[in-house]
Amino acid sequence: MKFAKIISLLAAMAVLLSSFAFMSYAVDGLVDEAPEDLYFSFRYPTDGNEIIDVSYFVPEKICRFTSMQSEDKITNYGVDGSVSIAFDWSVDSESDWQADKTDDKIESELGIDFIFTSEFMRFIYAEDVAKCKDAVITTTNDFGEELTAFDFDNHKLYAKARFVLTPVDGKAQYSPWSDVFCVNDYKAGYSEKFTAEKTSDKPAVSNVVLGDENAVYFDISFSDDTMKAAWQIKKIENFDMSLQSQVRYGAEKWQDWLIEDDLYPYDIGTRLFYLDGEKLDPETTVDFRCRLYYAGNAENGIPETATEWSDLIRIQNGTATVMKDDMRYDEFGYPKPPVSPVKVIIIVAVSVVVAALIILLIVKGMKKSKEQNDQIRKAAMERMEMGKAENDSFIRIAKGNAENKDNKDETATAPEKDEAEREETEADKEETAKDDDIKESGEEK
């Protein structure tokens, strides 16, 4: 019995430790990344006091956590609580941080928007004036009104941020600090080239639920590319994209529609719209779609920018369906007629025949091309042989002509040689005769 109690105690301790391990892992994974980027903008309301706003990009997992009910947070992350963003600031230095030196923090609880904006400093408050020491000045305009603002001409204001998870029961956990940002850089106007000219990614819709009073609930999220494009528009224009939606009743044309809280286009999680009850009946098919859209601004280099329309949410016969497979539906969102097996066989057979004909034509063309090349090669060889024969003939003729010329020269000199020999013979005869005459005369004497 005692041994069984020990085993049970050890088992309980193991379960408890494993739950703590799960909680630690899940919570650490929620705020393990620092804020990526900060953007500062400025407002000057009628009271004449400067307001510095700060915008930031919130990871989807934090938006999802924030949108959950307490029991869902515990189930998915092992803890119930809230997530906020905390800021630290420094004047004229990147190291004189003030958040730990005062109880007056700059912190904002996060919602379900992946782009969120909150106040950084409002100089109508004495606390915010004190945060900046002597770097806040008060001037008077032409109407005698006072303006309290940070002296950006003579001082610099730095800021950084981190995410904070505050459990209902337990110790707060923090993400790493972000990079350090100089608020002065945004005072003269932010300059960045818009690179995400188009984003074809459509919003992802899912988990459609029909509620009371013609309410339709659905889940929505956006791709990373879409969120980056929206963040660039925010930094360059200080404006948000709009969440456009359309609805179609039966065979009617698409008409613009409204999503509840459409002023918050970047909400991730559950969204809601209502149908027109007067147009609903069991036989009417209702389609809904949505997208992010921005009209653009040519002066800042931002073209008209929009995502593709989301998959259709179809309400029919009291049920709701997300039509994800676009290839099964026509341009109006209605199912295409199924393709019969016989038609598939015919298409395949025709494709095979066409492919065979193409291959046959290619082979035939290659064979014909080879024959033409052989004929051209043969004709070229014959021309080469003829040319060689003609060349040999010309050489023989030229050689013969040279020999004939030599023979003619020899023939032309032969008569002259014979005549000279004859003259020499006659002269010898005459000389001999003279000698004989002289000899005879001597004998007579």
pLDDT tens digit string along 156-175? 999 999 999 999 988 999 99
pLDDT tens sequence across 43-93 = 988 767 899 999 999 999 999 999 999 999 999 888 999 999 999 999 999
C-alpha dihedral sign at 407, 412, 416, 422: positive
**Does residue 237 share a domain with residue 117?**
no
78 and 89 both lie in a single domain: yes
Looking at per-residue pLDDT, the higher value among 248 and 354 belongs to: 248
Q: Is residue 110 domain-shared with residue 170, that is, in the same domain?
A: yes
Instruction: Please give the radius of gyration of the chain, using alpha carbons only, rounded to the nearest integer.
Output: 52
Any residues with CB less than 8 A from the CB of 386 and at least 6 apart, and which?
A: none
Residue 438 lies in a domain: no
CA distance 125 to 123: 5
Beta-ladder partners of 217: 209, 272
Q: What is the mean pLDDT of residues 334-357?
A: 68
**Can you tell me the distance from the alpha carbon of 33 to that of 175, in angstroms, rounded to the nearest whole number?**
6
pLDDT of residue 410: 52
Q: Are residue 50 and residue 184 in the same domain, yes or no? A: yes
Rounded average pLDDT over 368-385: 72
- Interacting residues of 365 by C-beta distance below 8 A, sequence separation 6+: none
Q: What pLDDT, in 10s, does the model give residues 191-246?
A: 677 876 556 689 999 999 999 999 999 999 999 999 999 999 999 989 999 999 99
At residue 286, the 3 state secondary structure works out as strand
What are the tokens at 283?
């036989």
Which two three-digit tokens encode residue 376? Answer: 């051209």
The pLDDT tens digits for 214-223 are 999 999 999 9
Q: Cβ distance 235 to 225 under 8 Å?
A: no
Domain end: 167, 190, 213, which one? 190
Q: Are 162 and 174 in contact (CB under 8 A)?
A: yes
Q: Which domain holds residue 227?
A: 192-338
State the pTM of this model. 0.65
Q: Domain containing 22 — which CATH number?
A: 2.60.40.10
Both 79 and 44 in one domain: the answer is yes
Q: Where is the domain boundary, 309, 338, 367? A: 338
Which residue's entry shows tokens 């002509």? 401
The verdict on 216 and 165 lying in the same domain is: no
Q: What is the mean pLDDT of residues 338-352?
A: 68
Give the highest mean pLDDT range of 32-46, 184-198, 325-339, 412-426. 32-46
pLDDT at 261 over 70: yes
